[in-house]
Amino acid sequence: MIPLTRDYPCAVVLQFVNITEPKHAQQEIEYQAQMLNSIGSSLIVTNPEGYVQYMNKAAEELYGWTFDEVRGMNIVDVTPTEATKQQSQDIMDALVQGKSWAGEFVVHKKDGTEFMAHVTDTPILDGDGNIRGIIGISHDITRHKLEEAKIIKSETELKAIYKDAPMLMMLVDRDTAVRKINKAGIQFAGLPVDQLMGLRCGEVLRCAHHLDDPGGCGAGILCKTCNIRNTILNTFKTGSSREMVEASLSVLVEGKVKDLTFLISTSFLDLEEEPLVLVSILDITSRKEMENALRESTQRFKELYSSSPIAIEIYDEQGILVDANDSCLNVFGVDNADEVRGFDLFEDPNLPTDAKEKLLLGKIVEYQTTFDFELVKALHLYHTSRSGVIYVDVKVTALGINRPGRISGYLVHVQDITSSKLAQARVKNSEQRLELALEGTQAGIWDWQVQTGHTVFNERWARLLGYTLAELEPIGVQTWKELTHPDDLQAVEYMLDRHFRKCTDFYQCEFRMKHKEGHWVWIMDRGRVVEWNQKGQPVRMIGTHIDITERKKSEEFLIQSRALAEEANRIKSEFLANMSHELRTPLNSIIGYSQILSSNRAGYLQEKELRYSSNIYNSGNHLLELINGVLDIARIESGKMDIEPGPVNICKLIDESIVLIKPLAMQKSLSISFDGKTRQLIINADRVKIKQILYNLLSNAVKFTPEQGSIVIQMISEADTVQISVSDTGIGIPENMHEKIFDPFEQVDSALNRKYEGTGLGLALVKKFVEMHGGRVWVKSEKERGSTFTFSLPI
């Protein structure tokens, strides 16, 4: 056997032998058949017309036919092929010329299945060169073809990787000089490929250091520490590859030096001619920068997390607590996060029941709950320094939900809202109180956006007028205007304008509004601007409406009653004036004639008659005194008596009064003294009335002081008042009468057993006159121990 082709080293040379010697020939045929069967290749022999003459075992196996079956069959039927027309023609041409033909095409087996065959057809020629038969040798090359295709594919891929790899790849020699470089390398170097050949690694990479040294890349001081160079040299030295060595290099980029970071891998290629190293260089500067940025941001996040005022808990994907920041530990009164690590988020009894479902769907779960530290202590859940109950706001967020079906953990924000909750409760309480207060006053509330007219009223406001708010919709400031009595609108506008101009702290006005049933309701409207704009204009005003219809009615009633009373008083005064005139005229004649009679000038009146006429005279005088007193009081009350002020020398006036009373005092042997005789005090007062006051007080002192007693007048002047007092050593006044005696007709003695004469009008007049001067009068007295009447007057 000699190889016919390099790839398929199997061929057969048939020895056609002389068959005239039968026995020997038979042996020879068997020998040849055995030999042919031992060939691993499929072999079929046909005659020149293509009829099968021989088929070896390998062919039987390959095509599925037995030799017996195909004997005499045409090869075209035994091994139908899908050879192209050209191939068929080529085979014929080769065979006719006595040459072999080899090629590949698809061949069918007996069962119809097909395979790729490598076929060699060789003509059997006789001595004259005529074709006696054809030997076909075929191989199933399907597997070989597939492997070949795989090899081609991987070679193509490798080439593509080398060519198009984003990383810089180059083959370098021991001197790091470039022998081959890929596209990325050419791009990085920025030079045409032919100029790159022979350059050293550092030159290709535009290393900034080699420029410093005339010796180029590898000659500089810093080159000794260059990780790229050292890695390549080390690979040459050890013959073993290096992977992912990080190296940094200062590189010239657009004229500027920039520090870049590379990842270098090397492969040692032990080639016969000369060992080379394949260097792969990946620029990871931006990745490095990103890594640094990520590290920084992670650091920032960590700092933020640990120093955040917001309480944060971190749970893993199973919902197990892995960490809690300081604020969180603070909220729960925990010293160390280890105390609470391992808690199951989904076991938390406060967590809403549907929370897990929501979280898995990427929804945020928020809830408010109370947290009872007493329970924590009772159940020995963890050590806490806190006690009582707090209110917390909780927000649970699933992390990493952006990647579908992937939750990497849970973040829980906890906020202690106890103080705001308590404040809310306080506000609610005060709101309730306000509501109750408003309910009590039945006040309706309005809230008016002055610039837009938008107004909000409460339900009670509508109720004041018999409506519900719904009945008055659409509701606004216009609703109020329409319901207000047109005659009252001007007053409202006037008062509002005053408030808007800040003349008043409050706006207040009373007006009528129409009730649903048609009558008018008096409203007291009070309000205040609570918000002003920069121009000083009112923005928002809030106020109340109160139904004051009842008050208005009683006010009206009072006004009417007062008018009636004043009228009655006027009539009474007129009547008294008339009456006093009518009484005084006959009284004067009674007094006058009884005085004449009492004088008994003619001398014919008996003693008894004299006594009677003296009685008439005394009674007449008393009556006159009474009438005068009543008249004075009536005049004062009806406002018809005015004071006529002028300068009054008060000490002199007191002296004059003493002179007047002295005769009466002497009758009872009473002493009268005044300590202010020498003083000069001029006051502005009605002389007649002050003298009347003094006379009334002095005459009372004389009247109610037993014989041998004493009367003392004192005067005290202060900055703006003067006090004059009349003290006696008389019978005194019981305390319960101290105020009453200043009312008209009030006397200590009852009328029936009265010992002292009098009208009961003297002190009433004193009080009226003092008050007309803007002064005051009072008494200090004890029964049987004398009395002191004092009156003050402004100076």
Chain residues binding ligand ADP by CB under 6 A are 700-701, 704, 728, 730-731, 733, 741, 747-749, 758-764, 787
CB nearer to ligand ADP: give 20 or 750: 750
CB nearer to ligand ADP: give 700 or 792: 700
DSSP 412: E
CB nearer to ligand ADP: give 394 or 731: 731
CA 377 to chain centre: 33
Sign of CA dihedral 447, 450, 451, 453: positive
Considering the complex, what minimum distance in angstroms separates the CB of residue 730 from ligand ADP?
A: 4
Considering the complex, what minimum distance in angstroms separates the CB of residue 667 from ligand ADP?
A: 16
Considering the complex, what minimum distance in angstroms separates the CB of residue 784 from ligand ADP?
A: 10
Query: What are the backbone angles phi and psi of residue 526, rounded to the nearest 5°?
Result: -130, 140
How many Cα neighbours within 13 Å face the side chain of 222?
15
User: Residue 106 pairs with which residues in a beta bridge?
Assistant: 116
Length of the chain: 795
Which of 753, 761, 709 is closest to 732 using CA atoms? 709
CB nearer to ligand ADP: give 15 or 753: 753
Considering the complex, what minimum distance in angstroms separates the CB of residue 668 from ligand ADP?
A: 13
Considering the complex, what minimum distance in angstroms separates the CB of residue 565 from ligand ADP?
A: 25
DSSP 74: B
Considering the complex, what minimum distance in angstroms separates the CB of residue 629 from ligand ADP?
A: 8
CB nearer to ligand ADP: give 362 or 734: 734
CB 680 within 8 A of CB 651: yes
Contacts with 595 (C-beta within 8 Å, 6 or more apart), sequence order:
617
Compute the distance between CA of residue 722 and CA of residue 651 in angstroms, rounded to an integer: 11
The secondary element (H helix, E strand) that includes residue 640 is none
**3-class SS at 181?**
strand
Considering the complex, what minimum distance in angstroms separates the CB of residue 741 from ligand ADP?
A: 4
Compute the distance between CA of residue 556 and CA of residue 240 in angstroms, rounded to an integer: 119
CB nearer to ligand ADP: give 312 or 731: 731
Encoding tokens for residue 470? 């719904």
Q: Closest residue (Cβ) to ligand ADP? A: 758
Considering the complex, what minimum distance in angstroms separates the CB of residue 681 from ligand ADP?
A: 24
**3-class SS at 10?**
coil
CB nearer to ligand ADP: give 412 or 631: 631
CB nearer to ligand ADP: give 493 or 749: 749
CB nearer to ligand ADP: give 222 or 737: 737
Cβ atoms within 10 A of the Cβ of 18, count?
8
Considering the complex, what minimum distance in angstroms separates the CB of residue 670 from ligand ADP?
A: 12
Q: Cα separations (Å) of 592 from 242, 588, 625, 626, 628?
A: 157, 6, 15, 17, 17
CB nearer to ligand ADP: give 648 or 701: 701
Considering the complex, what minimum distance in angstroms separates the CB of residue 714 from ligand ADP?
A: 15
Cβ atoms within 10 A of the Cβ of 523, count?
26
CB 505 within 8 A of CB 528: yes
Considering the complex, what minimum distance in angstroms separates the CB of residue 642 from ligand ADP?
A: 23
How many Cα neighbours within 13 Å face the side chain of 621?
9
Residue indicated by tokens 């007493």: 374
CB nearer to ligand ADP: give 449 or 628: 628
